[in-house]
Amino acid sequence: MTQIVANWLRYSATVRPDAVVVLATVRAPAVQDGEGAGWLVRHSQLYALLVSFVQIAMQNTPGKEGLVDHYRALWSGGAGFKAMEVALDRLKQDQATRGYRVIVMLVPEPHSYQPYLFGFTADVMRREADKRGWTFLDPLPELQKKPAESYWVSNSDVHFNADAFRVMANVLTPYLDAPQK
């Protein structure tokens, strides 16, 4: 989240949107340590992503329960969570200056929806959005109408396919069409 907001703030003075849509994922409060990053990490998104995956694997969170525990800890506080809150506050300040609406949509973790083990992320992100007077959207109820696997790019790639993005766009569209308050 800190990187998303920082990137937006670089452009917000030159772009005059009616609304800014923030797509938050379960990794929103993860600390992205760029300090001391080598040239390759700073200049290659693919390599930086690979380094990120290795770091997650090295955190010793085996199995589904370990992964859930890892994300629950991220969303419960700590440096990454605090950094996310600061980033959201910076976005709120920019919103007040520039006058756009903010809509936060939580992108669900795509591995499994039955049962969905990451509901705590929606609870926390909804509170963070409400604190700042922003609209919060959770497309999970719509996505749960089909098995999670039906939204994967392939059996070995759980990233969202076009159908998943269509569902999320359908959840978002009425809020973009709504007049600004």
Residue 105 token pair? 């949509």
Rg (CA), the chain: 17
- DSSP for 25-82 reads -TTTT-----TT--HHHHH-HHHHHHHHHHHHHHT---HHHHHHHHHHHHHTSSHHHH
Which among 17, 27, 9 has a CA at the least distance from the CA of 125?
27
How far is the C-alpha of 87 from the C-alpha of 100, rounded, in Å?
Answer: 17
Query: In the chain, what is the straight-line distance between the N-terminal and C-terminal CA atoms, in Å?
Result: 25
In tens, the pLDDT along 119-175 reads 999 999 999 999 999 999 999 999 999 999 999 999 988 899 999 999 999 999 999
pLDDT, residue 38, reads 64
Q: Are 87 and 2 in contact (CB under 8 A)?
A: yes
> Quick check: bond before 115 cis, omega within 30?
yes
The CATH number of 16-177 is: 3.40.50
Domain ranges of the chain: 16-177
How far is the C-alpha of 122 from the C-alpha of 157, rounded, in Å?
Answer: 24
In tens, the pLDDT along 27-66 reads 999 876 655 556 665 566 566 556 555 555 555 555 678 8
How far is the C-alpha of 81 from the C-alpha of 59, rounded, in Å?
Answer: 17
pLDDT, residue 25, reads 94
